[in-house]
Amino acid sequence: MKRSSNIARTLAAFVLAVLATGIVELLGASPLSAQTQEKVFVPSARLVFRALDSLSKSQVSWKNLSTYSKTSTYNSRYLIALNLGSRVSDAFVASQAKDDNNFLQMALTMGELSAKLGVEVDASLNQKMLDLVKAANWTEVRNMLDKQQEETKRKLNRLDRDASVLVVVGGWLEGLHATAKALSNNYNAGATTILANPKLIDYLISELGNVSQAAKNNGTVRKLGPQLTEIKNLVNVEKGKPIAQENVKKIVTIASGLIKEIENSKD
């Protein structure tokens, strides 16, 4: 009973973090600038997953696309935020894989990371989310996340700007990594258009340029801008044209290296 209660509490933190940061839009933008968001196409996680499954020759095997890191013992607020975003995307991948063990583990890890950032827990979502996971009602899990998005996005503003930006960047990066890895493992030219969103990457680079000098001085944060620029160059193709398989593989390599840096950094 105690374990169920703990899981329920951390699931609420998971829901809050996912929706508040806009990571429900797996390849999406930060909620920090509505004006910028209007100029950037933001496919929802559900659309990304559905498109990949429908455009691929066979359904994507989602379960092994993420590392599902359980580490939460970071001292730097910047690394906590980056890892929280990454774990959110991992949880979405687990939900797409209908992998309750990894989903719940990510929820527990995210609860610990969220607490360090001072994210409030919406207790009303606890048992409902737990029941949905136990019932393997993954469609409703994702529907619930979508419906609650706007309400919880506002709660993100209680975090400092640096954390807000870095949660979004971490989540986008892990989402990109999982999506590109799926396409690399099962290349389909038509499906690669999901990745072709250079304006979004420009937006993220701009947001990173506006974080505090203290955040910019962090070794891991300092590496993000140049690497995102390299990714942008790889996805910046003519509208409607596919991204070459070689470029998809390069994206996986870059994103994988950054994710490892985020997970293993001692800053």
- Residue 91 CA to residue 83 CA, distance in Å, equals 12
The SS3 of residue 267 is coil
Domain boundaries, the chain: 2-264
**What pLDDT is attached to residue 243?**
94
DSSP 8-state secondary structure symbol assigned to residue 137: -
Phi-psi category of 263—alpha, beta or left, where left has phi over 0 and alpha has psi -120 to 50?
alpha
Percentages (nearest 5) of helix, strand, coil residues in the chain: 70, 0, 30
Q: How far is CA 53 from CA 24, 43, 190, 242, in A?
A: 18, 15, 12, 17
User: What residues contact residue 156 under an 8 Å CB cut-off, 6+ apart?
Assistant: 20, 21, 22, 31, 164, 167
- Residue 249 CA to residue 224 CA, distance in Å, equals 19
**What pLDDT is attached to residue 239?**
85
**What pLDDT is attached to residue 230?**
97
Q: Which residue has the tokens 């374990």?
A: 3
Other beta carbons within 10 Å of 167:
31
Q: Using only the alpha carbons of the chain, give its radius of gyration.
A: 17
Q: What are phi and psi of 195, to 5 degrees?
A: -85, -15
pLDDT tens-place values along the chain, 267 residues long? 445 445 444 444 444 444 334 433 333 333 344 444 444 444 555 556 566 666 555 567 788 888 899 999 999 999 999 998 888 888 888 888 889 899 888 888 887 888 888 776 566 666 787 788 889 998 888 777 666 544 445 565 666 788 888 988 998 899 899 889 988 988 888 888 888 889 889 989 999 999 999 999 999 999 999 999 999 999 999 988 999 999 999 999 999 999 999 999 987
